[in-house]
Structure 1
Amino acid sequence: MKHDAQIEPMLDEHGRPAVFAPLCRSIIKARATSTATFGSLCSDPGSEMLLDLYWRESQGLKTSLTSLWLASKASEMTGRRCLAVMEEQNIVERMPDPSDGRRVNVRFTSEGRKKMDACFSALLLGYAETCRDCACSCNDGPTSQDCKPLE
């Protein structure tokens, strides 16, 4: 039995694929490198769960509780506590798996998806400002006209 049953891939309000999925995947890879380098010093089970859930939904994959616990890279109890907080904040919701009555899946609420998109948007804006500031501080960077503060 295949546990990664397909769901509808995440689409934005205009029906386009989730624009932040590639950024999400890059963050997951960078966090994996940090964890491999520094071990538990970089542990953040809740963030790991949110990123994994976002990525899986963007790819049209269901996410079971077991998959979410594994994504947390922590104990099941820690994963359960993180999930409880996410549910209290209306970020995610549980739903029974129609193909297997023993399994429970987790998905973002519309509010949770909006919050994740807002976080990714803020992250990209921060990266853009940082790149622009670095370019402006270089001797052969953009002209001073291009280095005005972003609005």
Structure 2
Amino acid sequence: MQRAAAANEPRLLLVDDEHEVLEELSEGLDALGIPSRTASSAAEALEIVQRFPALDVVVTDLQMPQIDGIELLQKLAARRRARPLAAIVISGRAALDRAVAALRLHAVDFLQKPLTPEEVALAVRRAFSIVEDSGPQDTPMQSRPRYLEALIAARSDRQALFKTELFADPAWDMLLDLALSEASGRRISVTSLCIASGVPTTTALRRLDDLQAAGLIERMPDDRDRRRILVQLSDDGRQRMHAFLDRQAARIGIRLD
């Protein structure tokens, strides 16, 4: 009933300490049919959330003075336990540890600057759908593609920090890439998968043979280009990857949609 009564009120709060970014984003979203309230600091955002209970989604920058985006989400989670705000975080510098921290605090999406109102509108509409479908709950939601992207990003972080081949595991990397392609509705070819694995093609092809022998993947001709061979998870591989992802997500206190 509360939501019906507040149907005409903005359900979105934008938080950014850069005034020009905030104004451009607000005007762009309004033109796309998504009205919003705005705050130029975390302290102002907390006050607005207190005054306007119809708010369902917050889009916040991570890098802000005094109270940053993570601390803001922590405070919002404490104040809105009965009906948590779905959060979309934006940042100019993606960091895996901060991404995981945001995941724990009801973040449902991550966007990197520079961004357009259209990109934000797409993420906001997804967040509205999650709020409407899930209702009040204690466990934050995260989209399966975004969670997979975070796991894959960890591979690049590991290479950048350790600069070593000690951790090379092309078979596992290829399984993650296949899971992400399926979750995102994309098809992936043998050639693309071998390139993405980061190892010589001969090594990648041997690992694909191993994965197929283990019953985890399938290869088939592309019906739109018979010269191209596609790869996908087998039913068993898909079931095992879903079980793995759900188990890891549960360990950090989130649910995957």
Residues 129-144 of structure 1 mapped to structure 2, 5 A cutoff? none
SS of the residue 2:219 aligns to:
strand
| Offset from partner CA, 1:116-135 (integer Å, 9 cap, x none) | 0111122123334xxxxxxx
**Cα deviation, residue 19, structure 1:** 4.9
Q: Name the count of aligned residue pairs.
A: 111
- Which of the numbers 221, 226, 233 marks the counterpart of 1:101? 226
1:30 matched to 2:140: no
The separation in 2 between residues aligned to 1:117 and 1:19, in whole angstroms, is 13
The separation in 2 between residues aligned to 1:111 and 1:34, in whole angstroms, is 29
The separation in 1 between residues aligned to 2:166 and 2:187, in whole angstroms, is 30
Q: Is the 8 A contact 1:62 1:105 kept in 2?
A: yes
**Cα deviation, residue 20, structure 1:** 2.6
Aligned to 2:144: 20
**Cα deviation, residue 102, structure 1:** 1.2
SS of the residue 1:41 aligns to:
coil
| Offset from partner CA, 1:93-146 (integer Å, 9 cap, x none) | 001011212110001111111000111122123334xxxxxxxxxxxxxxxxxx
Q: Is the 8 A contact 1:20 1:117 kept in 2?
A: no
- Report the AA paired with residue 120 of structure 1: L
The separation in 2 between residues aligned to 1:126 and 1:106, in whole angstroms, is 30
Residues 30-109 of structure 1 mapped to structure 2, 5 A cutoff? 30-39=154-163, 40-109=165-234
Larger Rg: 2
Q: Structure 1 runs of 4+ off > 6 angstroms?
A: none
Q: TM-score, normalised by structure 2?
A: 0.41
The separation in 2 between residues aligned to 1:74 and 1:38, in whole angstroms, is 17
Q: Is the 8 A contact 1:35 1:43 kept in 2?
A: no
Higher strand residue share: 2
Higher helix residue share: 1
Q: Is the 8 A contact 1:96 1:105 kept in 2?
A: yes
- Report the AA paired with residue 20 of structure 1: R
| Offset from partner CA, 1:48-90 (integer Å, 9 cap, x none) | 1111111111111111001110121101111112111111121
Q: Is the 8 A contact 1:35 1:41 kept in 2?
A: no
- Report the AA paired with residue 24 of structure 1: L
Stretches of structure 2 lacking an aligned partner (at least 5 in a row):
1-141
- Report the AA paired with residue 193 of structure 2: L
Aligned to 2:94: none
- Report the AA paired with residue 48 of structure 1: D
**Cα deviation, residue 31, structure 1:** 1.3
CA RMSD in angstroms, aligned pairs only: 1.7
The share of aligned pairs that are identical, in percent, is 33
Stretches of structure 1 lacking an aligned partner (at least 5 in a row):
1-17, 129-151
